[in-house]
Amino acid sequence: MKLINFKGIYLPKNDKTKGIDFTPLRPMNFYNVPLKLPNISESEPCVSVGEEVKEGTLIAKPVGKFGLKIYSPVSGKVLNIFDKITSNGDYCKHILIMNDNKNEYVDLPEIESFSDVTLIDRIRDAGMVDNVAKMPTFMKYAYTGSKSYKKLFILMDEIDPNCTINQTLAEFKMGAVVNGAKYFMNITNAPYITFVFTDKNKRIANMLREYIAKEKKNYDYRIKFIPNKYPFTNPYILTRLLAGKRVNKKTSFLDIGVTIETAESCYNFCRAVEFNKPVTRKMVTIDGDNVIRRGNFSIPNGVSYESLVDFVGLIEKNVDIKLIEGNLLQGRAQYNKEISVSLNTNSIVIMKYDEFYEEYETNCISCGKCVKVCPMGLNPERLEIAYMDEDNDELDRLKIQTCIECGCCSFVCPSRRYITQRLKDAKFYNKNNSGGK
Ligand code: SF4
Ligand code: SF4
């Protein structure tokens, strides 16, 4: 018998955006669509300046194996194609489209069959992004060789208190999520679907049971609950928790036959199959005490932060704000309001600058708190020292590459050490110096 201790932290609960259905954004004048998703894919434009497009027109094609098909989020005219900064500080090509307010759209062709090959092609053609595995979704299913996925988990919930997109889709778009999950089951070897909720959302799990009992016959599924502990929705932790298997340097999710999708990917899959819609929008939670309309939004690809802030409104207008893309432990503070929302933006937190208490780090007091919470069983204190000493062998020995950058160590550190930021740099340093053994 193996004893497994799942570490992590309980985050303060924030239910301000829970139970609010998605609000579509009002039409904007300009959309600036990024052609590279950080850590995911790169695409190249296939339209020219001056060309007219409709919502759903293919505007960028994949570059190499990890590329993505990108579709226009609006009908209008291509005004420019130029390099611009993205939310992670990189530069990439963007396509600037001016809205012509004609609301014309073009769909994907009708799907010909429901075979696994056709369904996988539909994932590729719809431009679906896997925000869990961080890759274009079709990559996971198109190159499986003789292996297959035998367990399919659908994440119906979040643990991050500033993101509620999956639980909102599970609650308000249940039919599409359930159908999309079935399409995912068709392209795997999973004998049934496992819907995963945190134990705080038993109500939606009960709604799902009732819905399937009422609407669907022959729908083989299970429901599993996980504790509402951060970062349990991380795919590495989730796989250990639900399948009892560990993904490491020598194995991949495919090797152990586990695939994890989200309510959002099921929703997109259903729309692509049943309504022939490519992905042109992203579901995003916008939160923060100074936000008038905090909630969940369906945001077209390429809307700028500035337009978003204008749309949701601020209670106190004449204050400096801090805008964080991602959750409070892992997200990035943004320095440029021209940056566009992309297909991997999940949440945005807007804070008044004085809400954000800047503290400077002090010396490590060796309290061991960071070690106690690290969900990957690492020693963040020693890793930080090894990085500052540029001791690459020690970084290897302490398994720096298994750090999932969750931020738990920094969150609990009484000395406010910038551990996570340093460990991100340490992973990069280690990869460059030893190939990330
Ligand atoms: S950021 Fe890395 S070292 Fe820190 S708790 Fe998370 S996994 Fe552990
Ligand atoms: S939590 Fe902070 S102070 Fe405590 S051992 Fe870790 S780095 Fe040092």
| CATH number for region 23-107+279-355 | 3.10.20.600
Ligand 1 neighbourhood includes 237 CB (under 6 angstroms): no
Probe ligand 2: pick from 7, 363, 374, 417, max atoms within 8 Å of CB? 417
Q: Name the CA radius of gyration of the chain, rounded.
A: 22
- Protein residue with its CA nearest to atom 2 in ligand 1: 403
Residues with CB under 6 A from ligand 2: 364-370, 380-381, 412-415, 417, 419
Q: Is the pLDDT of residue 151 over 80?
A: yes
Q: What is the pLDDT of residue 19?
A: 85
pLDDT at site 199: 87
Q: How far is CA 428 from CA 239, 384, 395, 407, in A?
A: 25, 13, 11, 17
For residue 415, report the distance from its CA to the centre of ligand 1, in Å. Answer: 16
Please write the tens of the pLDDT for every residue from 15-37. Answer: 788 888 898 888 999 999 999 88
Same fold, 23-107+279-355 and 116-274: no
Determine which residue's CA is closest to atom 1 belonging to ligand 1: 405
CA of 368 to the centre of ligand 2 (A): 6
Whether 228 contacts 6, CB under 8 Å:
no
Question: Which backbone phi and psi does 246 adopt, to 5 degrees?
Answer: -115, 130
Q: Which of 14-28, 176-190, 240-254, 349-363 has the highest mean pLDDT?
A: 176-190
Flag whether pLDDT at 44 surpasses 90.
Answer: yes
Domain ranges in the chain are 23-107+279-355, 116-274, 369-434
When pLDDT is cut at 50, 70 and 90, the band that residue 1 belongs to is very low
- Residue 149: per-residue pLDDT: 95
Q: Is the pLDDT of residue 285 over 90?
A: yes
Q: How far, in Å, CA of 5 to CA of 96, rounded? A: 49
Amino acid identity at 352: K
d(CA 397, CA 169): 42
68 contacts 58 by C-beta, under 8 angstroms: no
Å from CA of 376 to ligand 1 middle: 7
DSSP state of 341: P
Residue with tokens 């590329």: 67
Segment 346-385, tens digit of pLDDT:
999 998 877 666 678 999 999 999 999 999 999 999 999 9
Mutate which of 327, 384, 401, 408 for ligand 1? The one with the most ligand atoms within 8 Å of its CB, which is 408
Predicted structure pTM score: 0.93
Tell whether ligand 1 has an atom less than 6 A from the beta carbon of residue 120. Answer: no
CATH 3.40.50.11540 fits 116-274, yes or no: yes
Per-residue pLDDT tens digits for 88-134: 888 999 999 999 999 999 999 999 899 999 999 999 999 999 988 88
